[in-house]
Structure 1
Amino acid sequence: MRVIPTPIKKILDKWNIRGLVILSLVFQTSLIFLAPLRKRTSKKLLAVILWTSYLLADWTANYAVSQITKNQGKEPEPDAPPMNKKLLALWAPFLLLHLGGPDTITALALEDNALWARHLFGLISQALAGVYAVVQSLENALWPPITLLFITGVIKYTERTRALYTASLDKFKDRMLKPPDAGPNYAKLMEEYKSRKDSNLPTNIILIEEPAKHERPPTLVLPDRPDLTDLEIVQYGFKFFDTFKGLVVDLIFTFRERDESRDFFKELKPEEALRIIESELGFLYESMYTKTAILQTGFGTLSRVIAFGSLLSSFFVFHLRPKKSMDFHGADIVITYTLYIVGIALDLVSMVMFLLSDWTFARLRRLKDDPDEEKKSCVDDLLNWLLAFRKPRWTKHRCKGNRIHEVLTTRFLLRRWSGTIYGFSFIGYCLKAKVSRIHQKRIRSVLSEFVRETVVSTFDFVIRRTQMLAGWIENVDRSNRIFIRKWSRRSWMVRYTVYPLYTVFFLGIPWVFGKLWGYVDRIFSLKSHLDQIRFVSSEPLAKNQWEFIFKELKHKSEFAETPEIAKKVSSARGEWALRDTNVTEVESLMRYVENVDYDQSLLLWHIATELCFQTEEEEEEEEEKEVENRSCDDREFSKIISDYMMYLLIMQPKLMSQVAGIGTIRFRDTLAEAERFFKGKQVKKQRDMKKASSTVISVSNYIEPIHVKGDRSKSVLFEASMLAKELQKLDESSSSSSSSSVITTSSSNRDGKWRVLSKVWVELLSYAASHCEATEHVAQLSRGGELLNFVWLLMAHFGLADQFQINKGDARAKLVVGEGE
């Protein structure tokens, strides 16, 4: 008995190779167009499609080559054209070309680059398999186009292997290492010194110090005009990428490179700095995940010209061959033409992407030594016109505080990164409440947001109903068990019949499903993905928010003149920001950053920020105060960064692995205490974040929570409540000082709680950015990028990062004869 019916098996035998070849072509086409999108968004759907296409593309091509090889050893079918099997041998080098992959993606993840040796072995084995398939088809009149296609396929696969090789971290580091510096020849210098002394000549050794910073001419000169051009942004981005790509492999930088970068960025406008870092991260992404870096060399360009020329030549040789319709099957001819035409079209698309890439613009027009003296050319004007399409777009949006902010709204296909700041609210998650956005939605995205909200609401509704049903079943089961247990005590028949059946079916089945769900969730993290869909919010980057971050880091860099101070400043977790504020209650707040772990500090300040944010909104609605009288920007930016840091801690643990500590345990313990508290206060079912926040604030804190519950539970809920009350005192003391009859300058300019919170959150953000592993920053670029990546690179440019060391330069010894000692 056949498992597969004979008619279906005949169809599969006839179309399996054809279907595999077409499927391989579909995967290649999808990769070349979808791969560039992954640096612009972090959507899970795109990631799943790319992951599937990337893995199945290699499998399909490998399997198809094996099927072609197997087919060449079979006897031809009676009704097949005389030379049809010879045509199938032509498809083997096409599959080798597909295994070379598109230019837009070589590695799906950073770890794939370390597997370059596996791809090299794959190149050799697949080339031999293709040659074996062709040898089996000899004598084959199609050997000229087959040979030309083999040249193209080998070049493409070699490019992919070489790209993986150069992007692997160990080889990436080796190529960046400078020649070893043995320093002055000490032995020779001592011999000369001794011989001069023995000859009674006045001899001395002097040290020629490196010139001081103010004595060195600046290596980078900003043009004397208001704004940098789009081409200059890319040129400076490429220049700093070439210098600071060593951050990825923890190389040591010289003091000259530090000073050059810091002095340059101090003179930039915040938006210009953002655009340069955008371009810089784009170069880093292309060097790690695409073929761009190797194609931008002379050898890479020559190999691509040869590969494309071989592909075209093979097409024309096949096209000019007579009697194709008599020698080959009609469907196979169509498939072959499709392979040629789509392959040529994809190569042309790759060339257009290559020519329009930032890398090409930066190499075509080198950075000028003096931008003001050299005149612009028509080429510069053309490149500026093309780059203007990728310029960040800012749109004025009205936020919840009725303030107008400019937010990043660059069109999707023109973005260099996602431009989104994600958020996760602890109290919102505890109440399972929907967290509203601060910035209103764009009109263009109303439909997409409506679809997304509908999907999320459907998910939320199904999950809530499932949880309600599970709770109802649990309550019914508890009542039934009590009843059956009492009944079984009175009747031995019930004890040995009804009670065991109930235990097995009504308790065993839910237990089995619960265990099964636990295993599935443990393997695929389904609950985490569902929580991310339901409870993660998103905000666009606001221009003045980036300006505030830029100015704060710029201000901190002014103190970082030595590597020791720079390391101390970059290691601050809020204490530096608190001392830099104009408040007298610093010491009462300092214990929430100095005497606690970083993950504990994050959770404390996040909950305190949420409590202040929700309760103050309520006050505003009641008192109807003017928005202009409040620090609206600081309040909203504190809320956004607070939610963002909680999102990183809970939803992006890899980015926070170096600083997270026991953050997950603290989060779970705090969540358990909050759920118990809200349930007891009848607040949880209402899902009202304002009421929940005011309820937490209303709890008296006469005694420290740790003195009541000890250190067994890591919950920080009511410590955060105490911190929120301390922060609220800042506004109270500020308002009382400003309303008194005698107002001093210091009291009238006191910082309120939102100014303090905004500074502390920028410092907590910069601490996480500088202590995150560089490889995780690079890995995040393939998932849309994060604000954390920009802060990391900005800190490096300001000389604040502690991921690399800055050596001070060497003084050179010189032997001087004829001078007194």
Structure 2
Amino acid sequence: MVTIASLMLLLTTWDLRGVILVSLALQIFLILFAPLRKRVSTAKITGFIWLAYLLADSAATYGVGLISKGFIISKSQGDTYGPFASPTLLAFWAPFLLVHLGGPDAITAFALEDNELWKRHLLDLVSQGVAVGYAFFQAFPDHKFWLPTLLMFVAGVIKYSERTHALYLASSDKFKDSLMTEPDPGPDYAKLMDELDPETEGGLQTKREWIPEASRIDKTGINKEDSHELSDLEIVQVAYNYFDTFKGLIADSLFSFRERDRSQHFFLKLKSSREVFKVVEVELNFFYDILYTKAMVLRNTFGCFWRILSFGLNCAAAWFFYSIEKKEIEKVDIRISYTLLLGAIALDLMAFAVVLYSDWIVVALTTSHHRNRFIRIMANLLNIKRERWPKNPENKPRCFIFGKIMQIVRFRWSESLSTYNFINYCLHPRAKWLKATTGIFGLNNLLDEMVHVKTVDFPHDLRDLIFEELKKKSEKANDLETAKEIFSARGDWILRSEKCSDLIRWINGVEFDESLIMWHIATDLCYYTPRLGETNLGNEDNKNYKEMSKLLSDYLLYLLTMQSTMLSTVVGIGQIRFRDTCAEAQKFFHGKEIGESQEKACKRILGVKTLVEPSAVRGYRSKSVLFDACILAKELKKLEEQKMWLIISKVWVELMCYAASHCRANNHMAQLSKGGQLLTLVWLLMAHLGIGDRFQISEGHARANVIVRK
């Protein structure tokens, strides 16, 4: 019969052993699945990774506490086992928990804010190191496993130090400091003025020449025929070069016109939008690695040395433990000890495999100035010229194991868009009592995301449209003033160029969040109420502007409602305006037998006569823009069908570009650990095409060269 006493004995016997094994299991889970954060945007997957990330530290810390407790009890019983392992094994197991606190290479920080907690981890390193060291010294003089314990202790300190150092290097202050150059005081102005002063004794004859800056690249001379399709290896190399140049974007650095022109020239001459997005994807992958993994620590010779030393210590500890007699140790504890040793070695081997097949090692092997025999052999063994984006998805890798590793390492971003639709949301309201109940626990947004947010694949046509529009803007941005004008446009630039100036008031005359909601509703009204005989419209390149307009419209509304931090600098009272508009729409739909049909709902809205401006009726009580959007839709429907969808799609691209360029850099970087966002790719691509406010040094800033003669 099972009694409470027997259960307590079982718990006391296995709590330490269980915690140690769970800690190891969490490390294995994280090293395998943490890279999925770059690819997967669903909360179901990221939620498990978040839970494992938190439990990994808690389990290791709790295990050190249990070892201290078990050591005291075992020591008080005269070195008898009791429910605990022997004191020597307690001291031997403790360093493994220090190794686990160091965490896997694949994840040092779950969120960007974790990097700012490096001081806390430094304190934990000291405190946990002292606790493990105390257990080690208390096991003397009968500590027969002292040598493997000492080796594992040193390995644990190295691993935890790596994590702390990685967090420190990725912290905002340190990262900004790393981008700082040596101060440039310029020429000695006071001394030069004294020499130029004719009243000065021994005055000198001078001649002043202006030495202009190096000439700019002529974008008009870009010849597509001179460019070639980039190989996958060249894409990684180019992406790293531009990452190294533009990594200051996340620290709000400024860039010279030389850097702008060089980048702009390269991206404009690429043959396809797919190549452009590949380069940006790999570049963002480098950003992810330096902010969320141990890449910054392991990318130099010093870091590689400590990693190799740590691995060697693990192997040596396993050998010495194997060679020591263990007859008096229980078999279950011996098995646990071997599991910990082999687990530590396996984790290091997995980390080595991921590093060897990462983009960092490709850069290291191809940019080395000393192309010796060893580097050439390694480049061939690792097949750095391998195909990273197979044209045929059914192509199977030659090596199954390394192929699976590459499938994980190759992950860039989710290549999907989350969408949220206003009409659909208004037609499916939750009961007031349910909304009030979930609101108490702050679950309304979570439930809305689960019910109303849909995820769709990123279409190739949309990628082409975005790049074509950005390319046109970049080619027109020949000077800093024009670049800033394009940077600040949010639909009005397109409307002027397409000679639709009468629609500009729906852009410039309202706030950004107001125009976003209005254009979203107007897009739906046009989408669900097609004209007689209308089909899916496309131009000569078979681009479906209607579907792309709908997709971008729903995507930006998703950002406004579910990812409001990304638009926090431009949306103002967007959440209030959205709720008020929803309230008016639900009030309007009530009792009209619309059901769940979006077509009927849109026809009902368009059927309302708009003789007076809605603002004159509602006054300042409500921020709703429902019938403002109705008027906008009616204005759009006056255009020819294909031109209407062409203009709507380009307005949405410009609205997205405005949102991307005005989103804070740290908010963009925060999305890299959540599957990424199209908005972030557009932001980085705009910077490479010279569209932005980060280029403050113009061509006209030349330096004077003063020639002094007797």
Scaled by the length of structure 2, the TM-score of the pair is 0.91
Quote how far apart the aligned CAs of 1:624 are: 6.9
SS of the aligned residue for 2:417 comes to strand
State the partner residue of 1:417.
413
**Residue pair 1:189, 1:815 contacting (<8 A) in 2 also:** no
State the partner residue of 2:21.
22
**Residue pair 1:40, 1:416 contacting (<8 A) in 2 also:** yes
User: Which amino acid counterpart does residue 416 of structure 1 have in structure 2?
Assistant: R
Cα–Cα, structure 1 residues 87 and 629, in superposed 2: closer, same or farther, change >3 Å? closer
Correspondence for 2:196 among 193, 197, 202: 193
Cα–Cα, structure 1 residues 30 and 763, in superposed 2: closer, same or farther, change >3 Å? same
State the partner residue of 2:423.
427
1:723-734, aligned counterparts within 5 Å? 723-731=632-640
Alpha-carbon distance in 2 for matches of 1:240, 1:44: 31
State the partner residue of 1:48.
47
State the partner residue of 1:705.
614
**Residue pair 1:96, 1:154 contacting (<8 A) in 2 also:** yes
SS of the aligned residue for 2:264 comes to helix
Correspondence for 2:703 among 801, 809, 812: 812
Alpha-carbon distance in 1 for matches of 2:505, 2:120: 53
Alpha-carbon distance in 2 for matches of 1:57, 1:82: 22
Quote how far apart the aligned CAs of 1:30 are: 0.9
Quote how far apart the aligned CAs of 1:807 are: 5.3
Correspondence for 1:595 among 509, 517, 522: 509
User: Which amino acid counterpart does residue 440 of structure 2 have in structure 1?
Assistant: Y
Correspondence for 2:600 among 678, 691, 698: 691
SS of the aligned residue for 1:654 comes to helix
**Residue pair 1:231, 1:380 contacting (<8 A) in 2 also:** no
State the partner residue of 1:480.
none
Question: What is the identity percentage for the equivalent residue pairs of Structure 1 and Structure 2?
Answer: 44
State the partner residue of 1:183.
186
Once the two structures are superposed, what CA deviation does each residue of 1:346-387 show, in whole Å capped at 9, x if it has no partner? 11010000000011111210299xxxxxxx988777766664
**Residue pair 2:358, 2:409 contacting (<8 A) in 1 also:** no
State the partner residue of 1:359.
360
Cα–Cα, structure 1 residues 730 and 393, in superposed 2: closer, same or farther, change >3 Å? farther
User: Which amino acid counterpart does residue 253 of structure 1 have in structure 2?
Assistant: F
State the partner residue of 2:593.
682
More deviation, 163-172/412-421 = 412-421
Once the two structures are superposed, what CA deviation does each residue of 1:129-175 show, in whole Å capped at 9, x if it has no partner? 00011111111121110111011101100100000000001100100
Once the two structures are superposed, what CA deviation does each residue of 1:754-802 show, in whole Å capped at 9, x if it has no partner? 0100110000000000000100000000000010011000100011123
SS of the aligned residue for 1:701 comes to coil
1:268-417, aligned counterparts within 5 Å? 268=270, 269-322=272-325, 324=326, 326-366=327-367, 387-391=386-390, 414-417=410-413
Correspondence for 2:568 among 623, 648, 657: 657
SS of the aligned residue for 1:155 comes to helix
Alpha-carbon distance in 2 for matches of 1:590, 1:90: 73
State the partner residue of 2:115.
113
* Corresponding pairs, count: 685
More deviation, 544-553/635-644 = 544-553
Structure 1 position 778 matched with structure 2 position 699:
no
1:715-726, aligned counterparts within 5 Å? 715-726=624-635
Scaled by the length of structure 1, the TM-score of the pair is 0.79
State the partner residue of 1:564.
481
1:448-459, aligned counterparts within 5 Å? none
Once the two structures are superposed, what CA deviation does each residue of 1:577-604 show, in whole Å capped at 9, x if it has no partner? 11121x4xx2321110010000000000
Alpha-carbon distance in 2 for matches of 1:147, 1:517: 53
Alpha-carbon distance in 2 for matches of 1:221, 1:90: 67
Structure 1 position 36 matched with structure 2 position 39:
no
State the partner residue of 1:552.
469
SS of the aligned residue for 1:814 comes to strand
Alpha-carbon distance in 2 for matches of 1:723, 1:717: 10
Correspondence for 2:440 among 503, 519, 526: 519
State the partner residue of 1:455.
none
Once the two structures are superposed, what CA deviation does each residue of 1:684-723 show, in whole Å capped at 9, x if it has no partner? xx20011111111111112111122223211111111111
State the partner residue of 2:258.
256
SS of the aligned residue for 1:105 comes to coil
Correspondence for 2:238 among 217, 229, 236: 236
**Residue pair 1:196, 1:203 contacting (<8 A) in 2 also:** no
**Residue pair 1:81, 1:329 contacting (<8 A) in 2 also:** no
Once the two structures are superposed, what CA deviation does each residue of 1:717-758 show, in whole Å capped at 9, x if it has no partner? 1111111111110117xxxxxxxxxxxxxxxxxx61001001
State the partner residue of 1:506.
none
Quote how far apart the aligned CAs of 1:641 are: 0.3
User: Which amino acid counterpart does residue 131 of structure 1 have in structure 2?
Assistant: G
Alpha-carbon distance in 2 for matches of 1:82, 1:776: 48
Name structure 2 gaps, 5 residues minimum: 370-374, 395-405
Quote how far apart the aligned CAs of 1:226 are: 3.0
**Residue pair 1:116, 1:165 contacting (<8 A) in 2 also:** yes
1:433-472, aligned counterparts within 5 Å? 467=431
Correspondence for 1:539 among 456, 477, 483: 456
Quote how far apart the aligned CAs of 1:808 are: 4.8
Cα–Cα, structure 1 residues 427 and 575, in superposed 2: closer, same or farther, change >3 Å? same
Alpha-carbon distance in 2 for matches of 1:173, 1:222: 37
Once the two structures are superposed, what CA deviation does each residue of 1:181-234 show, in whole Å capped at 9, x if it has no partner? 111111232233347964364322333221221499x9x999956311101000
Alpha-carbon distance in 2 for matches of 1:643, 1:60: 42
**Residue pair 1:251, 1:804 contacting (<8 A) in 2 also:** no
SS of the aligned residue for 1:46 comes to helix
**Residue pair 2:255, 2:694 contacting (<8 A) in 1 also:** no
User: Which amino acid counterpart does residue 8 of structure 1 have in structure 2?
Assistant: L
Structure 1 position 763 matched with structure 2 position 654:
yes
User: Which amino acid counterpart does residue 466 of structure 2 have in structure 1?
Assistant: I
State the partner residue of 1:11.
10
Cα–Cα, structure 1 residues 156 and 412, in superposed 2: closer, same or farther, change >3 Å? closer
Name structure 1 gaps, 5 residues minimum: 369-375, 396-409, 434-462, 471-509, 733-750
More deviation, 358-367/590-599 = 358-367
Alpha-carbon distance in 1 for matches of 2:485, 2:539: 36
Cα–Cα, structure 1 residues 188 and 789, in superposed 2: closer, same or farther, change >3 Å? same
Structure 1 position 226 matched with structure 2 position 137:
no
Quote how far apart the aligned CAs of 1:296 are: 1.1
Alpha-carbon distance in 1 for matches of 2:213, 2:226: 29
Quote how far apart the aligned CAs of 1:78 are: 4.8
Cα–Cα, structure 1 residues 628 and 316, in superposed 2: closer, same or farther, change >3 Å? closer
The CA RMSD over aligned residues, in Å, is 2.9
Once the two structures are superposed, what CA deviation does each residue of 1:106-146 show, in whole Å capped at 9, x if it has no partner? 00100010111111111111110000111111111211101
SS of the aligned residue for 1:538 comes to strand
**Residue pair 1:253, 1:807 contacting (<8 A) in 2 also:** no
Quote how far apart the aligned CAs of 1:816 are: 1.4
